[in-house]
Amino acid sequence: MNQRYNVELVNRFLKYVSFDTQSSEEAADQCPSTEKQMALARYLTEELTALGLEDVEMDAHGYVYATLPATKGKEQVPTIGFIAHMDTSPDCSGKDVKPRIIENYDGSDIRLNDEVVTRVEMFPELLQHVGEDLIVTDGNTLLGADDKAGIAEIVTAMSLLKANPDVAHGKVRVAFNPDEEIGMGAHLFDVEKFGCQWAYTMDGSEVGELEYENFNAASAKIVIKGRSVHPGYAKGKMVNASIVAHEIVEALKSELPETTEGYEGFFHLTAMSGNVEEASLSYIIRDHDRTLFEQRKEEIETLAKEMNEQYGEGTVGVTLKDQYHNMLEQLEDKPHITDIAKEAIREACGHCNVIPIRGGTDGAQLSFRGLPCPNIFAGGLNFHGRHEFVPIQSMEKATQTIVNICKLVAL
């Protein structure tokens, strides 16, 4: 047995990434958005049952729930939960993932295959993990640490607590859900059945991080109707929908994901298509500040109005849809939830780094549904692409953080 790391944890993770669980934006009106996510849900149901957890259940939509009962004398301790998502990003294939373990990483560039190299110059976070054991891809797919690392950590922590009944803890609930990557993971989550006073998603990134501020988020679908006329006779008559779309893109290009950081918000163009007669733009809108968030939505509506005044009423139509809001609104009056997480992380990692999420988690939506739910690191880095990797030691510390939280709540 390899003594460098927890083999049970690693083997569990490697098993999970063998399942292709990529979700689909195109099928977001059904849950799960891809039937293949159900295979991992069924496997987890069987695994949790074999571990001896109770109330193990998989519902018709692939949500998996289970219970670790309280140890003797701790039945009155608050019931808490841990949550992770099963799907992987639509941005990169998760089929036939072939992970590789690099033991005692030496700080050099990592050649994933003949064509793909993870270079330290481009990914300097690698240098924070010299001497550790990294799980990487073969350069053809993403890895799936987002969020199968979180699942592996939760299940391993439950296994550890189950095998060590002398470690006192209250009732612990775990849940694994589909479709987080397309913003739908919390929609059919049964908060009442989960029955927790609060929970934590294990869906963060770098080791030691805790997140309880996230973006306010909305989507914007912009449809442009043009007027096609023979180009030889088009003067004063043609309205080229693709040109109007280009003008909209130009007007919104000052604040983009690639030019912002920290608490700065942005407009992100996720898709565009078009011809002379019709074009469409898909945006996501993000800002930590609720007032600035509302102003961003108003900016898009104002831009559409201006275009309609210039090109004719009905040329540009906008559909805005809120996706989630900043969980801090639901957590700032409940400091014990984050204080416990901070202490647990410090015990496991030696430090705790509180950062805002430049994105969102299922916990953001759940927090507004009555389940306060900060986000804790799972350890993976460079999500959603071929350069994704996870240090095994980070996964071990995340597992220990879960155990620490259970112990602290029971004090």
Of 132, 180, 209, 388, the catalytic one is 180
Q: Can you state the percent helix, strand and coil of the chain, rounding each to 5?
A: 35, 25, 40
87 is catalytic: yes
CA–CA separation, 153 vs 285, rounded Å?
32
Of 87, 133, 179, 213, the catalytic one is 87
Q: Assess contact for 147 and 327: CB atoms under 8 A.
A: no
Burial state string for 313-343 with b = 16 or more CB within 10 A and e = fewer than 16: eebbebebeebbbbbbebbeeeeebbebbbe
Q: Which residue's entry shows tokens 């690099």?
A: 102
CA–CA separation, 171 vs 176, rounded Å?
17
CA–CA separation, 284 vs 267, rounded Å?
6
Helix locations, 335-410, DSSP H: 335-349, 362-367, 392-409
Vertex 69 angle, CA 78 and 166, to 5°: 95
Tokens for 233? 């006779």
Alpha-carbon distances of 235 from 158, 227, 229, 238, 277, rounded to whole Å? 70, 12, 9, 7, 16
**What residues are annotated to the active site?**
87, 180
